[in-house]
């Protein structure tokens, strides 16, 4: 499989890289400290086409596909994991679910504003008792007349406090077969019965907005069912598969950022009469970092290319997410080690990269879940 970038992809990479360096890098520490990405940044990302990465042009999207999306997310993550996570959740979860399951009327109604950044998207699956087991939902939706009445709670919802559009999963048949009794619903911000909780005080990814949601007799129109009744779980698995490719790209960006910061520091700081970069022990650390980052990027682009081609890539998406997320944490820790005491203070980005990277081993399927998926796929191939 050829992973050479086209001229269009190179131009896209350079545009994303410049924006990340000019706008994100100087502000990332502030956004992390204040737990907020300013509203004007969402607008700028929308103007660049980054809020509608996989949305068709006829719906005002940039139609860049999954390879294009991974390029953008990597470049943004190089300087701010939280901003990249916002983009990944908006594009790879909310918009992706609508692209997979929404009716044509729903797509025309919601996707153009999501594509331009006028609206922010969020996706609601996780609950207190529903994390790795995505079918163990307790939130319910009951059809009463021409409305669905939703009751329950969601937690750890990325973009939840900023979003205008939510895709929410709920049980629609309490007595139905597990995994076939879940449906998805489109919920608009401001709906009566939708309560958005206080922002979570997280270890990392602090620029990214994360909140709990509570539904108390939340009423949504009957036509806001997204996809087939009872088909929400199957659609969710498809969304997560695509989302893992985005998390892989985010991981590559953080790992690359850690290496580039370590390289720059090692060529300035002196110890034992020479710069750190001349010490073989640190050269080996950085060589390993570069090797693992490149391998992770190739795995991500393989999965993205397969997704673009409409090929099954369940295992490839899990492989890229597993390898890249664990690589990012290790790269950030090694960068801190190379910077020594300076790596442990907030003045240097690497301590933030370490805090940001750890979530990638947890969100959208833990490393343990990825290993289960990969093993099952391997056994089914025999």
Catalytically active residues are 364
Distance CA 335, CA 15 (A): 27
Coil, strand, or helix at residue 250?
helix
Distance CA 67, CA 69 (A): 5
Burial status of residue 379 (CB atoms within 10 A of its CB: 0-12, 13-18, 19 or more): exposed
Nearby residues of 220 by Cβ (< 8 Å), 6 or more positions away: 147, 148, 150, 185, 186, 187, 191
Coil, strand, or helix at residue 194?
strand
Consecutive H or E run containing 305: helix 280-308
Distance CA 55, CA 46 (A): 12
Q: Would you state the structure tokens that stand for residue 22, as one six-digit string? A: 């000019």
With CA atoms as reference, report the closest residue to 339 among 254, 256, 268.
268
Distance CA 184, CA 135 (A): 13
* Sign of the alpha-carbon torsion through 185, 190, 192, 196: positive
Burial status of residue 6 (CB atoms within 10 A of its CB: 0-12, 13-18, 19 or more): exposed
The DSSP string of 26-82 is: TTHHHHHHHT---HHHHHHHHHTTTTSTTS-GGGT----HHHHHHHHHHHHHTT-HH
Angle at 22 between CA 17 and CA 26, to 5 degrees: 120
Strand extents, DSSP E, the chain = 121-124, 140-144, 147-158, 165-171, 182-188, 194-196, 210-221, 225-226, 270-271, 274-275
CB contact burial 84-101 (16+ within 10 A = b; e otherwise): bbbbbbbbbbbbbbbbbb
Say which DSSP state 340 is in. G
């Amino acid at each position: 499989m050829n992973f050479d970038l086209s001229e269009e992809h190179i131009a896209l990479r350079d545009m994303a890289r410049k924006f990340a360096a000019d706008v994100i890098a100087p502000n990332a520490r502030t956004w992390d400290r204040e737990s907020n990405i300013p509203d004007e940044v969402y607008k700028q990302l929308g103007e660049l086409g980054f809020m509608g990465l996989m949305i068709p042009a006829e719906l005002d999207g940039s139609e860049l596909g999954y390879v294009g999306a991974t390029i953008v997310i990597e470049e943004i993550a190089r300087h701010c994991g939280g901003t990249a996570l916002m983009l990944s959740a908006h594009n790879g979860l909310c918009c992706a679910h609508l692209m997979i399951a929404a009716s044509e009327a729903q797509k025309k109604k919601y996707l153009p504003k999501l594509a331009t950044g006028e609206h922010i998207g969020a996706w609601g699956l996780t609950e207190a008792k529903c994390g790795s087991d995505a079918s163990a939902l307790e939130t319910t939706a009951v059809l009463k007349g021409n409305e669905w009445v939703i009751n329950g709670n969601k937690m750890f919802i990325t973009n939840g406090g900023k979003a205008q559009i939510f895709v929410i999963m709920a049980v629609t048949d309490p007595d139905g077969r597990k995994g076939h009794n879940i449906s998805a619903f489109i919920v608009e911000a401001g709906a009566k019965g939708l309560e958005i909780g206080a922002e979570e005080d997280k270890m990392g990814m602090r620029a990214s907005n994360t909140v709990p949601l509570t539904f108390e007799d939340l009423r949504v129109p009957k036509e806001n069912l997204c996809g087939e009744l009872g088909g929400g779980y199957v659609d969710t698995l498809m969304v997560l598969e695509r989302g893992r490719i985005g998390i892989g790209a985010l991981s590559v960006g953080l790992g690359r950022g850690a290496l580039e910061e370590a390289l720059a520091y090692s060529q300035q700081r002196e110890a034992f009469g020479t710069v750190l970069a001349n010490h073989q022990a640190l050269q080996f650390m950085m060589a390993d970092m570069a090797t693992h980052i490149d391998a992770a990027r190739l795995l991500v682009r393989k999965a993205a290319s397969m997704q673009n081609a409409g090929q099954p890539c369940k295992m490839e998406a899990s492989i890229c997410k597993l390898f890249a997320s664990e690589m990012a944490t290790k790269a950030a820790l090694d960068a801190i080690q190379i910077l020594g005491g300076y790596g442990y203070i907030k003045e240097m980005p690497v301590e933030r990269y370490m805090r940001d990277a750890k979530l990638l081993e947890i969100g959208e399927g833990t490393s343990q879940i990825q290993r289960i998926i990969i093993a099952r796929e391997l056994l089914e191939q025999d």
